[in-house]
Chain A
Amino acid sequence: MTELPAQTAFADRVAEAMPSGIGKTVRGLSDKAIAWLFIGPTILLLLAINIFPLIWTIYLSFTNYRANRPNAEVKYVGLDWYHRILGDADVWAAMQTTAHFVIWTIIIETVLGFGLAWLIDKKFRGHALWTTVILIPMMLSPAVVGNFWTFLYQPQSGLFNYAISFVTGIDPSSFQMLGSVRLSPWAIVIVDAWMWTPYVMLICLAGLRSIPDYIYEAAEVDRASPWRQFWSITLPMALPFIMLAVLFRGIENFKMFDMVNLLTGGGPGSTTEVVSITLKRQAFESWRTGYSSALAIILFVTVFGLANIYVKALNRVKQR
């Protein structure tokens, strides 16, 4: 009874804002129908740009379709591509390269990010300025970062080689970070750690700031040493936030493409060929669209599974 006038008024207001012909139709609609009318185009757009390509990729992964031969007959191949990918030594090697990249970036970013957050949380003089300075790499585009680190890694003129030379005394032109089979995987790890450590720091900082002061005050009354306070209060209470950062960086680095493509393009040889680079090579260099679609679905399911765990961890943090 009380809702009816409000509903009519809302429908009237919407009707007044529309041309007279449509206005008459809108006056007869309920609030729910009008709401659907507004969100309908957005849902259609989302279906068109998100759901349809996904379904189309799933379909292509069961066929022998090649994008460079659009008029060729498309045959159903069942699970053949999935069997081949899961028995393909090159894809397996790419998975291991990805694992090396993911594991080392997570370790470095977590240790450095937590350390920086712990220092920033001390609120020393000028800590706000330092926070802003530390956050700058995170704000840059991966394309920009990839390009300028390519210059920094130049053996003849790059600053990175000169910095290493200054510290160790090695001749700067005696090693190539991007051209060496041994060093290039580490070159990518360094750039990713440089760019994304501030992000981990931000999440850890949020965790550290959420610890109430009275717990530390109680620990001081009990004469707990700073070391003991760190292991018994700081670390356990910040752990859900650290886990969140680890999961998020794990998911992001598992599908890392842009930075690796700009820095090494998967080379030298296939030393830095992470799985997203393999996917690109199969799809747009070998034109094996069906095969690359199946690989894309495998990656999608993996990332989707990890995202489920991420959401679960996020809910746990929210409950705190």
Chain B
Amino acid sequence: MSDIHVPPRPSLVTKILRLRRGPWENIATILIGLGVVMLMQPYSATAYAYSFITILAGTILFAIVSHFPE
């Protein structure tokens, strides 16, 4: 019987460094979601002030990474 070689699953960092669409889209989605929460939360004026730039960064990142290969 021959041994079946199963390649190790790549770590999250490896997946991100490979510039593949999936993990990068997740990062952009988290950034947009975080920005929306910062925009609407009632607790921190500083978080509110930086909300738009966070959403903008996430949206631009999303537009760029949607052109990455699967």
Chain A contact residues, CB within 8 Å of chain B: 82, 86-87, 92, 95-96, 98-99, 102, 298, 301-302, 304-306, 308-309, 312
Closest-by-CB residue of B relative to A313 is: B29
Question: What are the interface flags for B32-70 relative to A under an 8 Å C-beta threshold, 1 for contact and 0 otherwise?
Answer: 110110011110010011111001101100110010000
Partner of B29, one of A87, A301, A302, A309: A309
Alpha-carbon separation in the docked complex, A178 to B36 (Å): 28
Alpha-carbon separation in the docked complex, A298 to B39 (Å): 10
Alpha-carbon separation in the docked complex, A301 to B25 (Å): 17
Q: Which residues of B contact A96 (CB under 8 A)?
A: 40-42
Q: Which residues of B contact A102 (CB under 8 A)?
A: 40
Alpha-carbon separation in the docked complex, A102 to B48 (Å): 18
Q: Which residues of A contact B63 (CB under 8 A)?
A: 308
Is there contact, CB below 8 Å, between B59 and A86? no
Partner of B55, one of A92, A95, A302, A312: A302
Partner of A86, one of B32, B41, B49, B58: B49
Is there contact, CB below 8 Å, between A86 and B56? no
Is there contact, CB below 8 Å, between A301 and B40? no
A193 to chain B, nearest CB (A): 19
Is there contact, CB below 8 Å, between B32 and A305? yes
Alpha-carbon separation in the docked complex, A92 to B29 (Å): 23
Alpha-carbon separation in the docked complex, A223 to B67 (Å): 47
B60 to chain A, nearest CB (A): 9
Partner of B35, one of A87, A92, A302, A312: A302
7 contacts between A and B (CB under 8 A): A86-B52, A95-B39, A302-B55, A305-B58, A305-B62, A306-B32, A308-B29
Is there contact, CB below 8 Å, between A301 and B51? no
B41 to chain A, nearest CB (A): 8
Closest-by-CB residue of B relative to A93 is: B42
Q: Which residues of B contact A98 (CB under 8 A)?
A: 40
Beyond known contacts A298-B52, A305-B55: 12 more, CB 8 A cutoff: A86-B48, A86-B50, A86-B52, A87-B49, A95-B48, A102-B40, A302-B35, A302-B39, A302-B55, A305-B32, A308-B29, A309-B32
Contact status of A309 and B39, CB under 8 A, knowing A86-B49, A302-B55: no
Alpha-carbon separation in the docked complex, A82 to B33 (Å): 20
Q: Which residues of B contact A302 (CB under 8 A)?
A: 35-36, 39, 52, 55
A51 to chain B, nearest CB (A): 16
Q: Which residues of A contact B33 (CB under 8 A)?
A: 309
Contact status of A95 and B49, CB under 8 A, knowing A302-B55, A305-B32, A312-B29: no
Q: Which residues of A contact B55 (CB under 8 A)?
A: 301-302, 305
Alpha-carbon separation in the docked complex, A10 to B65 (Å): 40
Contact status of A312 and B49, CB under 8 A, knowing A301-B56, A302-B35, A306-B32: no
Alpha-carbon separation in the docked complex, A208 to B7 (Å): 37
Q: Which residues of B contact A92 (CB under 8 A)?
A: 45, 48
Q: 6 closest A-B pairs (Cβ-Cβ)?
A: A99-B40, A305-B32, A305-B59, A308-B62, A86-B49, A96-B42
Alpha-carbon separation in the docked complex, A92 to B52 (Å): 12
Alpha-carbon separation in the docked complex, A298 to B62 (Å): 17
Is there contact, CB below 8 Å, between B51 and A305? no
